[in-house]
Every structure is written in structure tokens, then in C-alpha cells.
Amino acid sequence: MKSRYPRRAMALVAALLMSLPVVADEASDRAMREALEAARNREWSRINDSVIEDHVLAGYVEYHRLRSQLPHVTPEIINGFLQRHADSPLSDWMRGVAQVSYGNAKRYDALLAVSDGKPRGTIRQCYYYTALLDRDPPTAAQGGLDLWLTGRSQPSECDTLFDTLLNRGVIDSRAIWQRMMLAWENGEDGLMSYLAKKLPASWSDAQQALDRLKGDYAGVTRVPVDLGPQGQASAALFTAAMYNFTRADTEAALEAWRKIGPHLSLNDEQRHSVEHDLAFYSLVREIDNNRGWVDDVLPRLANGDLLELRVRRALAERNWSDVVHWVHQMPDDPRQDARWQYWLGRALEQLGDEQTARKAYAAAADERSFFGFAAADKLGQPYALNMTQATFNDTYRREVANWPVVQRAEALQRIGEPGLARSEWYAAVERASEEEARALADYAQQRGWYATLVQTTIAANQWDALAWRFPSAYQDSFLRWGDANGVDPFLLMGIARRESAFNNEAVSPVGARGLMQLMPGTAAHVSSQLGIDTPSMGELFEPETNIRLGSHYISRMLDRYSGNRLAATAAYNAGPGRVDRWLSEAPREFDLFVESIPFRETRDYVQAVLAYQVIFASLAQQGSTQGIAMLSPAERQVSYDTSLLARN
């Protein structure tokens, strides 16, 4: 993205700042920490403004002070704050709280004065379009309709907007009916009842049809195709009915659709939605009776996700001709992916077309991924890392250290606000030019901010900056516990990189913690095996503890599956019980085993970890892949079935 600062101005500011030492004043930081705590609690008498006014974080205290004065503070004062802190997330935060506060107070002129276009978030949007009702009716009408047409209840802050649009007839009976159908799809019976009361009597035939279908989806073939005034109810009703019917009984739903589909007046989007759902559920539920219809409709739908499912079905059946056919049907973007070029090569090889197969493998081998590396193995050629490296001299690094965002991030770290520090950092990366983003990544690497470094490369799309995307984070601990447990440390690093992106404070939605994302129960079990005390929740965030327990757990999974990393990493992600079941009915070849894993998360996880291990091992050799193999001969040649389970 383009920098907010002109290059010459940045250079002048940096030159001036470089003459000043970057020194952390402990007393000043302590005063700022206390002032920020007081500001959050609105204890203004505790704050000595003269002590903190020159601190790089003074804006954070000002933010809380202005926030406490809303909605009575003028928009001019708010805009002044936004301008002064335009290079900080404080600006977006202040704009958001001001919009909500002004909207709640019905100070709509003030709300518009601090707005810079359509805001993010439903509540802010409802207030924004309410403010435009009399100032820009067409924009308010369109924005209000977009917010109205959802199958879930909207917050009360939208009531004024919706009530006005209802009174003006912008939200008409047809829009009410459309929302009812969306609510039906979402199982929102309460919202449906509320909306039904707003419909006039002329919609009674549509409501009666809806009542019949709610109890019997199969009745969709017996419902008149012309419902509501001028048939306005029909399209939305049939679309919603098919949505629910398809999920309840896909085979019966397709039978009904073949009867009624040609006679319905649906727009292209509605018809595509119905047929996409039917094809999707027919494929994932493996409904053989629907196969012919699915194969007929897939080329017309031209959806990459559906075609991926179809190729995976052909792979499961070892129907190599179908694999070739359906890969060729894919849109250009997914078809060129290493995964599908690999499978195209594999299918062509099975069909005896070695020459064309090698071309497909060669296309796949250009990519840095599991299937790209597998294709390179097929061709007997080195792995393509496609890595780039940016270098910076010490003078430029000193300049970067004095950038305002870096100074604020450092200060927030010092006063114990790592979350705010990350917010500052990532907001800066979003605004940065390509060169500035690289400089920020380099700074994070120099400071050992591993999680921040990885996220910086993601936010800045620095996909080929491998030394930054895969830093040697906590390497001593991975080496130590890898050696102690007989596990390749680069495998451990690959797991940690996939699990937490090296954020030692990461917590998953289900409660897994730390670098290697250990569940507390797993940590307790492993600790018992090791004969050590069960770590507290807080101790699971300590890198040394987490790596020790995680490396022992993956070593047990490797023991369980005779040293096979594909099965062991799948078990680390999905649990050994599931992997045992998958092996009982798995294809025999390694690539088909990976592709057959039913959970997409685990399927992607296994591929990522094995590819990451290659990358970490290569980076340890200064980017050379000499002597590095993604899979051992045994992992490539073994039969993937229950024989992998070690016999005790």
C-alpha cells in the first residue's frame, strides 16, 4: 500500500530523529503506565498531564479522555484527534466510538462530520444510514435494505432506520417476505413470526404454503408456482424450501427439483444457489443415484470447490480417466495449483501417458508445497523454495527504529501492553509501502518478535520471504527436546509454526495453549507419563514447558504409527482414534492416504507440517535442499493401513 508519508518528509523526520538516542525512560514509562490505568478507570485526578505530555503514548490517555466526554465533545475536536493520530489505530477506534456515541444521542450531523464513508460493523452502519435518511435518501434506502435482508435479528440500533424505511415503503411486503425466507433458512422461527405480522392479507396464500412446507418439505412439488401478489412470493419461497429440503434429504430434494425446477421463475443467482447446494450435498454424502445429474450440472456451475470434491471422489474410486476429465474442467486458478497438477500427472501416469504426466509434474514442482515437493520427488529434481531475501544496512535499521509506530510499539511492550503493541504494528503494516513492510519485518526479526514477524509477512503478502515467514524461533528448545525424544527438531518447528505461528500466548477456541497448542488434558497426561508435576494453565504458555510436552506427545504418536510422520501428524491434529479408523479403510499409497483424510483441516495440516519441515531444514542449510527429503523411502512405499499401528 502507499505510504501515508511523503518520502522526502519521512527522510527529514528520520534524519532529525536519528540524532536523538532511542532511550527508554523508566520513570516516564512508569508514569504512562499509571496514567493509562487511571484513564481506563476515568480517574482523571490521578493523571499528571505535564509528566506524560511528551511521552510517545500520550495519545492513548487522550483517547480515553475524549471517549469519556462523548457525545458532548464537538466533532471538530474529534477530527483533530483523528488527524493527529492518523498513523495509529487510535484514529479508527476513536472514529468508531464517536459514531456510535453520536448515533445513540441522535447527533446525526456530528456523526456524519466524523465519518469517512460507510463504516464497518452493523451498529455503526445502522446509525450512519439513519443519519442519511433525510440528507441522502437513496443511499440510506440502499444501505438500509442491505442491512434488512438478513436471516437473523439485527441490533436495536437499527430500529429507527428500519421503521422509517418501512413507513416510506422502501422496505415493502416483498422485502419482508424475502427476509422471512432467509430467517427460515437460518431456523429463526421467532423472527419469522415477527415478520409475518407485518405482511398484509394479500400474502395469505404464500403464508399458507409456507406453513405446509415447514411440516413437509416434499410438498414443494404440490405448491402452486404463483404465490403472493403478482407471484412475488414464489421465487424466495421455493429457493428457501429447496435450501432446507436439500439439507434434510438430498436425494429426495433432487428428485423434486427435477420436477419443479424447469417451471419456476427464478433468477440466475437463485437457480445457481439451489443447484450448487444439491451438487455439494450429493458429493459430500456420496449419493450414487444423484451422480448422473451432478456430472451433467458441474460444467455449467463451474465452481472450483465442487469440482475439487468431484476429483476427490474420482481419486477415492481410482477412476483415473475421471480424474483427468474433472481436473481439466476446473477454472484456471485452481487447476494450476500444484495439488491438481500433481494429481493430473498421477492420473496420466496411471493411464500410461508418461510424457504428458511429466509435464504436469513439472508444473506442480515449481510450487513450494506438499504436492509441489512430491512432484519434484517424482521427477528426481531439487525442491523449488522460490525464496527471496531483503537486506538492510545498519543506518537504515536505525532509521526504522525511530519511526513513530516502532517507538509506540516498543513503548507499549515496555509498559506491559503487548496487545496494543500488536495493534499498532499490524495497522502500520496495512498502511505501509512494500519497502516499509519489509523494513518492519526485518525490525521484528532483529527484536526476536517471532509471532509478530510471521503475521507481518502474512499481512504484507511476503510469501517468498522464507527467513521471515519461518524464523528460527525457540530453536535451542526445539533442538534440546527433539534430541531428548528422538524427534527431528524441524518437524517440531513445523508443528509449532502451523499450530500457533510461534505465538507462545496463543489460545484456540477449544482451549489448546501455547506454541504447540496443547490441550490441558493432554498436557496433564503427558506430564504423568514423564513423572513431572502437571503444569498450570499459565505454565503452558512458557515455551520451554510447551515444547517439552508437545515433543513428547508427537514422539508417542510416531511410536504408535511405526515412525510414520503422515499418520503421526494427522493424529496430533485430529486424535489417534480417528487416524486408527481412517487407516482401517484408507487407500494404500501415501498421496491417496493424505487426500482421503475426511477433515479438510487435518488434510491441510498434514501437508503444511511436512512442507514446513522441509523449509526449516533447508533454511538451516542457508536455503539449500541438498540431502533433504520430504518423505522417507518407507513413508513413500509403505502400505497405509492398520499395519502401520505398532504392535506392542
What's the pLDDT at 390? 79
Strand partners for 513: 507, 518
Residues in the chain with pLDDT < 70? 1-24, 647-648
CATH code at 394-467: 1.10.1240.20
Distance CA 570, CA 557 (A): 9
Q: How far apart are CA 223 and CA 240, in angstroms?
A: 13
The predicted pLDDT at position 647 comes to 67
Would you state the pLDDT for residue 24?
56
Q: Is the peptide bond before 520 cis (omega within 30 degrees of 0)?
A: no
Residue among 187, 177, 248, 192 nearest 218 (CA): 248
| Backbone angles phi and psi of 562, in degrees to 5 | 55, 35
Cβ(119)–Cβ(140) below 8 Å: no
- Report the CATH fold assignment for 475-644: Lysozyme (1.10.530)
Q: What are the residue ranges spanned by the domains of the chain?
A: 183-301, 326-370, 394-467, 475-644
As a whole number of angstroms, the distance between CA 621 and CA 36 comes to 47
CA–CA dist 462, 439 (Å, integer):
12
Q: Cα–Cα–Cα angle for 173, 144, 233, nearest 5°?
A: 25
Cα-based distances in Å from 197 to 61, 176, 200: 49, 10, 8
Q: Which amino acid is at 10?
A: M
- What is the rounded end-to-end Cα distance, in angstroms, of the chain? 58
CA distances from 600 to 311, 604, 612 (A): 15, 6, 18
Q: Which is catalytic among the residues 424, 499, 544, 589?
A: 499
Question: CA–CA separation, 325 vs 308, rounded Å?
Answer: 12
- 499 given a catalytic annotation: yes
Residue 1 CA, distance from chain mean position = 21
Q: Output the pLDDT for position 384.
A: 96
209 dihedral zone (left: phi>0; alpha: psi -120 to 50; beta): alpha
